[in-house]
Structure 1
Amino acid sequence: MHYSRKALAGIAFTLLAGAPAHATTVQFQTVMGDFEVNLFDKTTPETVANFLEYVEAGAYQDTFFHRSIPGFVVQGGGFHFDIETDKASAIPANPTVINEPVYSNQRGTIAMAKPSNDPNGATNQWFINLKDNSSDLDSTQQGYAVFGQVTGNGMAIVDAIADLKFGDFSQTGAFKDFPFYNLPVRDFSQEDFDDGAPVTEDHLVLIQNIVVLDASEDTADGLNPKLSTKDDNNGGDGGSGDSGGGGSTGLLGLLALAGLGVRKLLTSRA
């Protein structure tokens, strides 16, 4: 697995060399399979450019999905996992990006996470909508900026990630500095963790890399994403609490919106 990751990283940098900043099709290479996301660079240019800065810098290599809220979202982009030391660390955040709430938070869209009370506070973290979350996320915090869409059969992989068990692996061991209350894991149990077994790369949903596949700015022209319902919801700014910014694990405000509590015991979607 590591050998292929190094090879893919080399391919990624080759593809990025000379590629324009508005490249629109990227591939998420994960341990659960690869899936593609088409970016809306023409309509959310600042958000896409921000995301691609992290991609081009290799910031998302060896990161992991750190939050899973079944029937709502899966979230990543904030944390690196050192496969040599089995330790997590926060990805350094670039300056924040202006909010671009053009499109609706429909199933299969990817949107920027951000801290509460800061509509323009998004940095490196993002989430993928598992269902139509427009009634909550199009208006809360002046709207969560959708900047791309999972294409092809990619949602089958995202759904498989969402179907994994998840649990409270917070503030101890590899995650001693982070409150990972809803961390999705593979071949691991809460009992293993409580008995002192370490969480390793074999248990996380690692994102080995995100690479550019097509640098054309026209790749999204055939898509028909739904426009944001923010105006339909009177542009409300409801919700409170940490909702997922660059340096936090966030989305606690969204947990409340989803009608879900923080779960300590490892549970499955079923």
Structure 2
Amino acid sequence: MSVRIITNYGDLKFELFCSQCPKACKNFLALSASGYYKNTIFHKNIKGFIIQGGDPTGTGKGGESIYGRYFDDEIYPELKYDRRGILSMASKGASKKPNTNGSQFFITYSSLPQLNGEYVIFGKLIDGFETLNTLENCPSDKSHKPIDEIIIKDIVIHSNPIADQEILD
């Protein structure tokens, strides 16, 4: 299963880890299919670290999951922040306040081993690295909010019937 996040700067295509993180993937896919993320912004952009979005209020304080406010962590040691383009749930962190996943997500700009075990990793970038480079270089203010809006125009779900059947079995 993969998704394409369409931004005003280009597209980002992610492979989702539905077998390992079914709750996170179901949440992200259901919110995407319902248009929840459509025309929302990435509200945080930190060069060399992450870009974060998924909050319909655009403040970084809003959003909720399809399960209610939050859902449980799905953290597995084999899923690591070992590369650029890791797709992860933005929560309060497993060691600080576990099981606080809602609608917000982030994408890494580099390998970030210090985040291992803290946040739910549910996908990786497979196409659109040039777009990720462009986003990383968009200037932000002192609070890390992009000066020019980075808009999630839509999220398109790509289905692979063979892989999808394996998930359902």
Matches within 5 A, 1:51-66: 51-66=28-43
> Given the alignment of the two structures, is residue 104 of structure 1 paired with residue 75 of structure 2, yes or no?
no
Contact 2:39 2:153 in 1 (8 A): yes
User: How many angstroms apart in 1 are the aligned matches of 2:162 and 2:32?
Assistant: 16
Deviation of residue 90 (structure 1)?
A: 6.6
User: How many angstroms apart in 2 are the aligned matches of 1:163 and 1:54?
Assistant: 28
Give the share of equivalent positions with the same residue, in percent.
25
Q: How many residues align?
A: 157
Match of 2:109 among 116, 130, 136: 130
Deviation of residue 115 (structure 1)?
A: 2.0
Matches within 5 A, 1:29-48: 29-48=6-25
Looking at both structures, which has the greater relative contact order when contacts are Cα pairs under 8 Å and sequence separation is at least 6? Answer: 2
Structure with a larger share of its residues in strand: 2
> Given the alignment of the two structures, is residue 157 of structure 1 paired with residue 136 of structure 2, yes or no?
no
Give the TM-score of the pair, scaled to structure 2: 0.84
Structure 1 unaligned spans of 5+: 1-23, 82-87, 169-180, 186-202, 222-270
Q: Larger C-alpha radius of gyration, 1 or 2?
A: 1
Runs of 4+ in 1 over 6 A off after TM superposition: none
Give the superposed CA RMSD: 2.2
- Structure 1 equivalent of residue 145 of structure 2: 183
Contact 2:85 2:125 in 1 (8 A): yes
Letter of the aligned partner of 1:209 in structure 2? Answer: D
Between stretches 54-63 and 210-219, larger displacement belongs to 210-219
